[in-house]
Amino acid sequence: MRTTEAAIPAAVPPAAQTAVFPILVSLGFCHLLNDLMQSLIPALYPMLKADLHLDFAQIGMITLAFQLTASLLQPTVGVYTDRKPQPYSLAIGMCSTLIGLVLLSMSHSYAMVLLAAALVGTGSAVFHPEASRVARLASGGRYGVAQSIFQVGGNLGSATGPLLAAFIVLPRGQGAIAWVSLVALLAIAVLTRVGMWYAARLRPSPASPTAPRATQVAHMPRVRTIFFVFVLMLLVFSKNVYSASFTSFFAFYLIERFQLPIQAAQVQLFIFMAAVAVGTLAGGALTDRIGRRPMIWISILGALPFTLALPYANLFWTAVLTIIIGLLMAAAFPAILVYAHELVPGRVGLISGMFFGFAFGLGGLGAAAMGYIADAHGIAFVYQLCSYLPAIGLVAWFLPKLEAR
């Protein structure tokens, strides 16, 4: 596999070689800004819960409103841009996030909060499939590294969002969210420049250059391909539903079980999200070295002993275990996405839209379900129940080793 991929960059035009890392870093930076803005929504849940007198089920529905719009729209965006690439759709989609943030800063009713969350989700739906395509286009054949650089930006943004909420928004109130809209304006400017590079890259090669022949696998029957995609989605299910328990309810868990103040709980959430960022970056590099399938095994199933221990740990070991879990589980997604790209070559937009959208949708549905479970049985029971989710990683046994094909 290393020999094959090493030969790919030589076949890429020199202009693309000089643009690889500037474009990847720009995409990662915009992913950071995008997910920083998105992560404000769950970080504000304690404030919204108190101000609007919400229960856990309603909190879960806010997550569902955000993630369901992203989940439903992303595959549609991916299919359309596979046929007609839209270089400037990245900047245009960020405008929806900008409008959602401004609306959220002025929302004084539950319905307005839901609408604001849905608009932010719409911006995410446009951003992720096309940005993932550009990252693969700028990869120079190092697809795991490219996806990890792109995704680690999102992880860092998700980690920074709770700190931004804890130390800036929460002390100053809901109206302070409007200042975060300046971040959206910065992202729009950078994405416009990325769109210019993408548009120039498309002109000499109207045919999609995102699936080099050297990486396409041997033809596989359609039924087998669909089955393997289903297996990958099961793996995403186990990872993202468990992750949703952290992004939506971990602060409440720490406050209830260890009597932490809100800011201290948000710092603990930041530690988990920072571990996710490191795990994503390391996972991308390891994916290119050891292969997609072994990385999936290690990252999802390897987290199982630690998730099982988490509900019974004290505060110190809770912090340690969350770091380990974040490192391991985050390494899975670059491997899963690159594996899916190779499984269905030439359909980067569709596959990215499906998997990013599926991830958002599962997170939203999982958060809504966990909200009802928390209301009925307590927040601690949620983490006891979710601790078994990484066992689904056993289905990775069905995946073939594409490198050998």
Instruction: Report how far Cα 398 is from the mean position of its chain's Cα atoms.
Output: 24
Name the residue among 263, 265, 240, 261 with its Cα closest to residue 251. 265
Name the residue among 75, 131, 66 with its Cα closest to residue 97. 66
The letter for the amino acid at 78 is: G
The letter for the amino acid at 30 is: C
pLDDT, greater one: 181 or 2: 181
Residue 324 has pLDDT above 90, yes or no: yes
Average pLDDT over residues 246-261: 85
The pLDDT tens digits for 153-200 are: 877 887 777 677 777 777 777 777 888 888 888 999 999 999 888 888
Q: Which residues, in sequence order, are CB contacts of 112 under 8 Å at separation 6+? A: 103, 106
The pLDDT tens digits for 196-245 are: 888 887 765 444 444 444 344 546 778 888 898 888 888 888 888 888 78
The pLDDT tens digits for 370-382 are: 888 888 888 889 8
The letter for the amino acid at 397 is: W
All domains of the chain, ordered by start, with CATH? 2-404 (1.20.1250.20)
The pLDDT tens digits for 118-137 are: 898 888 888 888 888 888 88
Residue 117 has pLDDT above 50, yes or no: yes
pTM of the model: 0.66
Q: Which residues, in sequence order, are CB contacts of 327 under 8 Å at separation 6+? A: 275, 276, 278, 279, 282
Average pLDDT of the chain is 79
Would you tell me the crossing angle of helices 143-164 and 262-290 to the nearest 10 degrees?
Answer: 180
